[in-house]
C-alpha cells in the first residue's frame, strides 16, 4: 500500500486505492493464520487489478469519462475466486480507455508511465497492471486481452503475462470490449506466479455461458515436470517480417536456453492465410465494440477520446456481411495454422513486440499521428492472430534493448494447454534472471 501511494503519481498507474478494505482483509488473513486454519493458495498476497473488474461498492470507470463515478452492484467472478484463494485486493489500476489500444496512451486519465523509463510507453491496454507489477507495487494483476492487452504491457514492462484460451476464465463482471475475443488473465513477475493466479480463476462459470466446462489442471504442480522432448516450432516466415535486428537477436537467443533445457526446436512454414488473421481480428473487435457502445456513441460521442471514438465509429460502419465473413473464416484459417504448426510441435515460439519499446511522444496520436499509425500497424503483428484463433499465449522477458527497455518472446499453445506454456516458461526462467530484474524506483 505504501509503495502504491508513493509511486502512483510518478507512474500514473492507480485509478483508485482501497487501503481500508485491504487492511481489513489483511487483518482477517492474520487472524486465520493465528487460528491455525488451513490457508488458501494465495493467502495474504496483495494484488491490484485493471479498472474494468467489478467489485460491488467499488468505483469502476474503465479509463473513461463516460463511466466516471460508476459503482457496480456485482463482483466479477475472477475477483470472487481470487478472494476465495486468499488474495488481498488493494486497488484498481489505470488502463487504456475501454481497453481499446496497445500503447498505454489515455487522453482521459493520462498516460501510464513505464517504470523502466517514464518517457516510454507501458503497452496497453492493461497499462497500469504492467507498470504496477514491474514496479513491485503489487505481486500480480488481472488484465484482459482482446488483441494483446495482457501480453503488450508484460513485454514492455519486463514481466510475465498469459492470455488463456478463449473461455478458460469467466468474464462475468468484467467490462467487455469484444465478446468473441476477450480473455481474462494474469500479469505477474514469473510464470510460477501466473500459474498460481490462473489456477485460482480458471474454470466454468454459469454466469458466463461461453466459459468452458472442461477441467482445470494443477498448473503449479505441472511446473516441476520435465520439459525434455517438448517440441517448439520456430516460424520460417511471416512472424519475423517487421521485427528489428536488435529484437530478433534477443528473441532468437532465448531458443538456445530452451534447447539446453531439453526442448526440441523444429522449423515450420506458416500458411499464407495467416496474413489475414490480424486484420480480421481488428474488424471483429471494432465491430463488436461499436455494438456494445452503440448507445453512448449516439448520446455522448464527444466524451470519448479521439482514438477510441475513431475506432468505434469504424466498427459501427462495418457491413454485417463483412463481420459474418470474418467470423466464418476463423475456423478455416485456424485449421490451416494448426495443421502447419501443431501437427509438428507442442508450442510455437515467436516474437512479441517487433521493435524496442518506443517513447510516449513518438506514439502519441495528438502530436505524432504518423508515428502512432505506424506503431499500431506494426506492433500487433505477432499477437492479434492468437486472439482471433482463441489460442493461449504468454509473454516471457528475455533481455533489454539498447534503450534500456525490456524485450520478450511469446509462447503459443494448443487450445486449453496453458500448462505446457507455463511449464516451458518456468523452465526458461529457472535458467535466466530477466524476469527477476526490477526498475530502480
| Active site residues per annotation | 50, 125, 149
Among the listed residues 232, 309, 250, 272, the one whose alpha carbon sits nearest the alpha carbon of residue 432: 250
**R_g (Cα) of the chain, nearest Å:** 20
Residues 361-371: b if buried by 16+ CB within 10 A, e if exposed: ebbbbeebeeb
CA dist., res. 238 & res. 219, Å (int) = 31
Peptide bond into 125 cis (omega under 30): yes
CA dist., res. 233 & res. 295, Å (int) = 45
Residues 121-154: b if buried by 16+ CB within 10 A, e if exposed: bbbbbbbbbbbbbbbebbbbbbbbbbbbbbbbbb
Here the cell at position 105 is 496512451
Classify strands 347-351 and 14-17 as parallel, antiparallel or unpaired.
unpaired
Residues 6+ apart with CB under 8 A from 129: 48, 49, 50, 93, 95, 141, 142, 143, 150, 153, 187
Measured in degrees and rounded to the nearest 5, phi and psi for residue 218 equal: -85, 95
Among the listed residues 383, 351, 393, 349, the one whose alpha carbon sits nearest the alpha carbon of residue 164: 393
Amino acid at each position: 500500500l505504501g509503495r502504491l501511494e508513493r509511486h502512483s503519481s510518478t507512474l500514473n498507474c492507480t485509478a483508485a486505492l482501497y487501503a481500508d478494505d485491504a487492511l481489513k482483509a489483511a487483518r482477517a488473513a492474520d487472524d486465520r493464520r493465528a487460528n491455525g486454519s488451513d490457508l488458501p493458495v494465495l493467502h495474504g498476497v496483495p494484488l491490484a487489478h485493471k479498472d474494468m473488474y467489478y467489485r460491488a461498492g467499488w468505483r469502476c470507470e474503465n479509463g473513461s469519462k463516460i463511466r466516471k463515478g460508476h459503482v457496480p452492484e456485482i463482483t466479477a467472478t475472477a475477483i470472487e475466486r481470487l478472494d476465495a484463494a486468499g488474495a488481498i485486493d488493494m486497488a484498481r489500476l489505470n488502463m487504456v480507455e475501454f481497453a481499446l489500444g496497445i500503447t498505454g496512451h489515455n487522453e482521459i486519465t493520462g498516460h501510464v508511465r513505464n517504470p523502466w523509463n517514464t518517457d516510454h510507453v507501458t503497452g496497453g491496454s492493461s497499462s497500469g497492471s504492467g507498470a504496477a507489477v514491474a514496479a513491485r507495487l503489487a505481486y500480480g494483476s488481472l488484465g484482459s486481452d482482446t488483441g494483446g492487452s495482457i501480453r503488450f504491457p508484460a513485454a514492455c514492462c519486463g514481466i510475465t503475462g498469459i492470455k488463456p484460451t478463449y473461455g478458460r476464465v469467466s468474464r462475468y463482471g468484467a467490462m467487455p470490449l469484444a465478446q468473441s475475443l476477450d480473455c481474462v488473465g494474469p500479469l505477474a513477475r514469473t510464470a510460477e506466479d501466473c500459474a498460481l493466479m490462473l489456477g485460482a480463476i480458471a474454470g466454468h462459470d454459469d454466469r458466463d455461458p461461453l466459459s468452458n466446462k472442461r477441467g482445470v489442471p494443477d498448473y503449479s504442480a505441472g511446473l516441476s515436470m520435465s520439459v525434455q522432448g517438448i517440441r517448439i516450432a520456430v516460424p520460417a516466415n511471416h512472424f519475423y517480417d517487421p521485427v528489428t535486428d536488435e529484437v530478433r537477436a534477443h528473441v532468437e537467443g532465448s531458443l538456445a536456453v530452451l534447447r539446453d533445457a531439453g526442448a526440441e526446436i523444429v522449423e515450420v512454414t506458416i500458411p499464407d492465410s495467416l496474413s489475414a488473421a490480424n486484420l480480421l481480428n481488428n474488424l471483429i473487435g471494432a465491430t463488436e465494440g461499436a455494438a456494445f457502445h452503440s448507445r453512448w456513441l449516439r448520446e455522448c460521442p464527444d466524451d470519448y477520446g479521439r482514438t477510441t471514438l475513431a475506432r468505434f465509429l469504424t466498427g459501427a460502419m462495418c457491413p454485417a456481411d463483412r463481420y459474418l465473413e470474418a467470423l466464418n473464416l476463423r475456423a478455416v484459417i485456424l485449421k490451416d495454422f494448426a495443421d502447419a504448426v501443431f501437427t509438428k510441435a507442442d508450442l510455437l515460439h515467436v516474437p512479441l513486440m517487433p521493435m524496442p519499446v518506443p517513447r510516449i511522444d513518438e506514439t502519441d496520436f495528438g502530436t505524432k499521428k504518423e508515428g502512432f499509425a505506424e506503431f499500431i500497424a506494426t506492433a500487433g503483428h505477432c499477437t492479434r492472430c492468437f486472439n482471433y484463433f482463441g489460442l493461449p499465449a504468454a509473454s516471457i522477458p528475455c533481455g533489454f534493448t539498447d534503450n534500456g527497455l525490456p524485450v520478450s518472446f511469446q509462447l503459443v499453445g494448443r487450445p486449453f494447454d496453458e500448462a505446457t506454456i507455463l511449464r516451458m516458461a518456468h523452465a526458461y526462467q529457472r535458467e535466466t534472471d530477466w524476469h527477476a530484474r526490477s526498475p530502480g524506483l
